[in-house]
Structure 1
Amino acid sequence: MTRKLDSKRLVIATHNAGKLKEIGALLAPFGMECLSAGQLGLPEPAETGKTFVENALIKAQAAAQASQIPALADDSGLSVTALGGRPGVYTADWAERQWFEGEPGRDWYMAMGKVEGLLCEQGPEADRSCWFSCVLAIAWPDGDSAVYEGRVNGTFSWPPRGTMGFGYDPVFVPNGRDVTFAQLDPEEKHNISHRADAFAKLVAEQFGG
């Protein structure tokens, strides 16, 4: 049986304010006080894993050790069928500016444009099906951990539409919808997203009867 959270405080191993807000909203009904690694001034560990699971565990374990509080990490990304599953675990890396592209930081519009450019190279018949993956990893300061995986399928759309999401949300149209994640009301996105899928599994195990 997987270990249960016995603390009402949880470190969210992220420096991304959008991700903290989204995860915090999902955990609010369970009385969890969520603090981000950024708020605690924790360093960001190098994400050297080859899979979402490996990277999520790296981040969760680093935050739990540094804070001595149970930590939750999310590693998520966009995979495009026609690109052989890329960018995948390198989803955020595709948004990193090179030295000739301006000040350091992430440029998500540039990242979305890279995907669109590669699809355009394949012509108008390119397969635009894609999926978002999410792995949630909980780590305890003593080394225990648990992992939960979620996924949502959709289509890569261009140009970007909407302002309510983050990352690649403006170009992702989930199956069964005609609008992007960034055009959906946040509550509706919470109900169908890859993160919500992973969270449903986490909640069932951690907070279920």
Structure 2
Amino acid sequence: MKLLVATQNKHKKEEIEAILNPSFEVVTLSDLNDFDEVEETGDSFFENALLKASYYAKKHQMLTLADDSGLCIDALNGEPGIYSARYSGGSDQENIQLVLDKLRDTQDRGAHFTCVLVLYDPSTNAHQSFQGDLYGIIESKPKGSNGFGYDPIFFVPEYKQTLAEMHSKHKNLISHRAIALQALKEALI
């Protein structure tokens, strides 16, 4: 079965394929040469994921999966949250540096990643949502070269590593997106 994943991000495609294969043939917006941007005007991860899923599902008439995810830091009242990808207005490294600067004088380094997936069926206009959370601690400096986004500063105590220090196969088993995708997979089977 074909599944449109509403992303241009090749890392997300790889992660989703690794979890959903062989149940689905994953197609991304890049594969369809679709470079439209859906403005994320929602006030929550769910609202933003639903906006994207419904837009692309209706546009391409395909079962569509969209996600919104981000890092929520306790000491920053949940920031960067839904603004995680564009927190600093710059690159991943600039986002990381902004977080580290804001946490410089605090001992409270608790955080969690949240991922909300929305699966939208354009033939019925029905949707389902799935959420995954991964709890950890923000490191004082980046460690590791795997992963993307905030992975180099997100330390997972149970594994004594940042997400960027983990092999991608291991990360794909424990990440917030993996937890949400596992819930999706179970619901579909």
Specify the TM-score bucket, using the shorter chain as the normaliser.
Answer: over 0.9
Q: Residue 29 of structure 1 aligns to a residue in which SS?
A: coil
1:137 deviates by: 0.5
Contact 2:45 2:115 in 1 (8 A): yes
Unaligned runs of 5+ in 1: 1-7, 98-106
> Aligned residues, how many?
187
Q: Residue 67 of structure 2 aligns to a residue in which SS?
A: strand
Which residue of 1 is the match for residue 31 of structure 2? Answer: 39
Question: Hey, what's the Cα distance between the residues in 2 that align with 1:159 and 1:110?
Answer: 13
Q: Structure 1 runs of 4+ off > 2 angstroms?
A: none
1:132 to 98, 102, 113: 113
Q: Residue 159 of structure 2 aligns to a residue in which SS?
A: coil
Judge which range, 35-44 or 8-17, deviates more: 35-44
Alpha-carbon displacement from aligned partner over 1:107-151 (angstroms, at most 9, x marks no partner): 00000110111111xx2x430010000001101113111100110
1:204 to 171, 186, 189: 186
Q: Which amino acid aligns with 1:39?
A: D
Alpha-carbon displacement from aligned partner over 1:64-100 (angstroms, at most 9, x marks no partner): 1111111101111000000000000010111533xxx
Q: Which amino acid aligns with 1:66?
A: K
The structure with the largest alpha-carbon Rg is: 1
Which residue of 2 is the match for residue 193 of structure 1? Answer: 175
1:116 to 83, 86, 100: 100
Contact 2:19 2:182 in 1 (8 A): no
Structure 1 segment 1-209 matched on structure 2, within 5 A: 8-30=1-23, 32-42=24-34, 43-97=36-90, 107-120=91-104, 123=105, 125-142=106-123, 143-207=125-189
Q: Which amino acid aligns with 2:78?
A: G
Question: Hey, what's the Cα distance between the residues in 1 that align with 2:149 and 2:88?
Answer: 9
